[in-house]
Structure 1
Amino acid sequence: MIILGLDPSLTCTGWGLIRAEGSRISHIANGQVKTDAKAPLPDRLAHIDRALAAVIADHDPVQAAVEEIFVNDNPQSTLKLAHARGVALLACARAGLSVAEYAPRLVKKAIVGTGGAAKEQVQAMLRVLLPGTKVAGADAADALAVAICHANHRPRF
């Protein structure tokens, strides 16, 4: 089963694809969708939508997992994150994917073993779990972590 993990952000949305076969996982692809901070909000959201639609069309995932929103001290930042997250959820729903949502602390716990892990710890564990994988950046690493979290928590029939 191919799982798409997403780490939404208006600035840089990370995506990662893994194959999960039983308890085994393997890397397929990962990347980041960067937007122009000077562009109008609707244009930035449309860019994220087009890029995610292309990823989904190219790799045909069966399920998706998206990181839940964490509340920032700055309400404007939280609102911008919510816009990007809504676009990510819509892109998955439009493609007919079932979507699971995971809190950042649960994702870190699934990868590192503790919900308070630093980004560097998550990235170090990804090198262990997906050896030889070239990760496009921190947001792509977070997206791969979300996909792995889903692989570990999804119902198995």
Structure 2
Amino acid sequence: MLVQIQKFIDQFHTRLSQIISWFTLIMVLLTLLIVILRYGFNMGWIAMQESVMYLHAAVFMLGAAYTLQVDQHVRVDVFYRKFSERGKALTNLLGSLLLLMPVNIFILLISWEYVGNSWGLLEGSQEAGGLPLVFILKTFILLFAGSLSLQGIAEIIKSTLVLAAAGERK
């Protein structure tokens, strides 16, 4: 059952990453359009510029869990790369339990009211002509911590299974 949960979480984040990967192309095209309009035609829209920021936030915040899944997150790799599979699994398990999960729980708890207040106001941009969706932008904070916690659970399961298999081989 644990393997099924882990695989479901991994598949969810893989699909999510495939969707948000298109956001980077959209950001590039929007940025190109913004530059052409501004410098070629002396025109600009705040909403278009803000949409690039929203897309960037989505790519970063929603892509973090997939980055963890494929083991491409930032890590001090000086010692880790020399560890055995068991050592890596133990490091990942302890890191997930003692660092990743507490930080994500803290982010969820501390930002819940912040995001809730934004939704209560249906907060919009302070810029004239900006997007009226700041509450959506702030929601990415909760989605970030939630999806990273979910992937943390998958990583805990993976590490536990590696350690169990290593224990059986002894």
Calculate the TM-score normalised by the size of structure 2. 0.27
Q: TM-score, normalised by structure 1?
A: 0.28
The structure with the larger Rg is 2
Query: Whose strand fraction is larger, Structure 1's or Structure 2's?
Result: 1
Query: Which structure shows the higher helix fraction?
Result: 2
